[in-house]
Amino acid sequence: MKLGIHFINFPLPGEPETLAPTLASSARIADEAGCDVFTLMDHWFQMEHFATSYDPMMEGYTSLGFLAGQTRRVRLGLLVTGVTYRRPGLLAKTVTTLDVLSSGRVQLGIGAAWYEREHKALGVPFPPIAERFERLEETLQICRQMWSDDDGPFDGTHYQLAETICRPRPIQRPRPPILVGGSGERKTLRLVAKYADACNLIAADPDVVAHKLNVLAEHCRTEGRDPAEIQRTILARGASDPVGAPDDFLASMEGYARLGIDLVEVVPIGPDPAGWVSDVCEKILPRLAEIGS
């Protein structure tokens, strides 16, 4: 089983001056230790169920560009890009640029967006959820077209592109991997089955995750796709503390591995996220790699 770091902890002592060195140090530790992926959120305001909207939040793709120059091997991405935040053609260009500058280490994580307050606050349209999912599907189609040999137009319900030129091409072939985040059974997991290379589920309960994976498999059958083609990942929530109770954490991961999960992302907490990442890499990374092998 692989390990990822999902960094959301920007309310740090001494910020804003401490934000860049702390983020860089955390990513370098994960990179050098052998973590598979390092992700950030895609928000303009800090999430209110983590801190407050007045606490610091860094823009996602700018931060990933910074981290591309701080790391050498770890994959980089947002968990996940909000579809409402960027026009899809520009999003594909942004991800392509990051892929080139990171020597082929970017993944496009994307979802339907949900944080209404930050949209209203900064004047960004926040359409109803049905429309957001329509826009998500068109964005997936546009990104895949821009990363293909088809430079022609795209004529959708919500987006119209006269040309889909994307030069330079991404380094990764045939394109950067796509992860669709979320667990909605009717829409989100259908989009995973149709367009994505990976899913990400909240690991609140193994039985819930097992059910979601069964739903995903049904969508794959409808789409004529082998479910094994899709990487199954989780974000640890409700699991034991990987630093304070590593044995309990690893025991819970064994249950998820039996479901076919092959990557878990954990969230650094506390005033010293770089130290936390160092501890989690030392205490669980080697043992986690043995699970499911």
What confidence tens digit (pLDDT) does each residue in 125-154 have?
Answer: 999 999 999 999 999 999 999 999 999 999
Q: In whole angstroms, how large is the CA radius of gyration of the chain?
A: 19
Q: What is the DSSP letter of 161?
A: E
Pull the structure tokens for residue 69.
Answer: 């120059």
Q: How far is CA 177 from CA 45, 96, 159, in A?
A: 27, 11, 22
Q: Is the Cα dihedral 51, 60, 40, 211 positive or negative?
A: positive
The residue written with tokens 């989100």 in the block is 188
Task: Enter the DSSP assignment of 219.
Answer: H
Of 21-35, 188-202, 233-247, 279-293, which range is least confident?
233-247
Task: Return the percentage of the chain with pLDDT > 90, whole number.
Answer: 96
Whole-number Å distance between alpha carbons of 237 and 235: 6
**3-state class (DSSP) for residue 115:** coil
Of the given ranges (44-53, 191-200, 233-242, 248-257), which has the lowest mean pLDDT? 233-242
pLDDT tens for 56-111 read 999 999 999 999 999 999 999 999 999 999 999 999 999 999 999 999 999 999 99
Phi, psi of 249, deg, nearest 5? -60, -45
Residue 49 pLDDT level (bands cut at 50, 70, 90)? confident
* Tens of pLDDT, residues 156-168: 999 999 999 999 9
pLDDT band, very low/low/confident/very high, at 293 (cuts 50, 70, 90): low
pLDDT at 238 over 70: no
Residues 6+ apart with CB under 8 A from 293: none
Q: Residue 100 carries which side chain, given as an amino acid letter?
A: V
pLDDT at residue number 237: 78
Q: What mean pLDDT, rounded, does the chain reach?
A: 96
Q: How confident is the model at residue 239 (pLDDT cuts 50, 70, 90)?
A: low
